[in-house]
Amino acid sequence: MSQIILDEHLALDDVLQPIQRWIKAKRIQDLRPGEVIKDERLRTLLIHLGRPTLVTIDEGLWKKRNCDRRYCILYFALLDTQQNQIPSLLRRALHLQPFKTKAARMGKVARITFTCVSYWQLGNEKLQTLLLPS
């Protein structure tokens, strides 16, 4: 199974192809062809995918209640026109200790900007914030 799963809002050329050069990644719609995957069903799907990391620009997923030990959600707080920045921001975020390995990422829901990563961790009530390495 792919380590990185991209939501349906992300561009193939700008996001998927550059990410696939250095890590296993798939689009969520490729995992469930022909299905429309609504947000309310997304968490159930993630649970059954074997500890994936979902990459999204859907702000609706940036919620503490979405923390689950079986997956990670990385919400990129970017405009649609800035999607081409996701691969480099993702790579920088994955260099941070709390996101460096698949096991370390599980249970987190993160918001990534050009300068920092803020995240909720399952079992921790406090929002954590780290600066992104350059």
Instruction: Give yes or no for residue 32 having a pLDDT over 90.
Output: no
More confident residue, 35 or 108: 108
Instruction: Give yes or no for residue 68 having a pLDDT over 80.
Output: yes
121 strand-pairing partners: 108, 124
Instruction: Give yes or no for residue 5 having a pLDDT over 80.
Output: yes
Instruction: Give yes or no for residue 1 having a pLDDT over 60.
Output: no
More confident residue, 15 or 42: 15
Give the Å distances, CA to CA, from 90 to 74, 122, 125: 9, 21, 24
Q: From start to end of the chain, where are the E strands?
A: 4-6, 25-27, 53-56, 72-76, 108-112, 116-121, 124-131
Give the Å distances, CA to CA, from 29 to 9, 10, 52, 88, 122: 10, 11, 14, 23, 27
On whether the CB atoms of residues 72 and 107 are closer than 8 A, the answer is yes
Q: What is the dihedral of CA 35, 68, 126, 2, to 10 degrees?
A: -70
On whether the CB atoms of residues 118 and 111 are closer than 8 A, the answer is yes
- Tens-digit pLDDT profile for residues 9-29: 898 889 999 999 999 999 988
* pLDDT-derived band at 2, boundaries 50, 70, 90: low
- Tens-digit pLDDT profile for residues 56-65: 999 999 999 9
Domain ranges of the chain: 4-131
The token pair at 41 is 């069903």
* pLDDT-derived band at 98, boundaries 50, 70, 90: very high
Structure pTM?
0.94
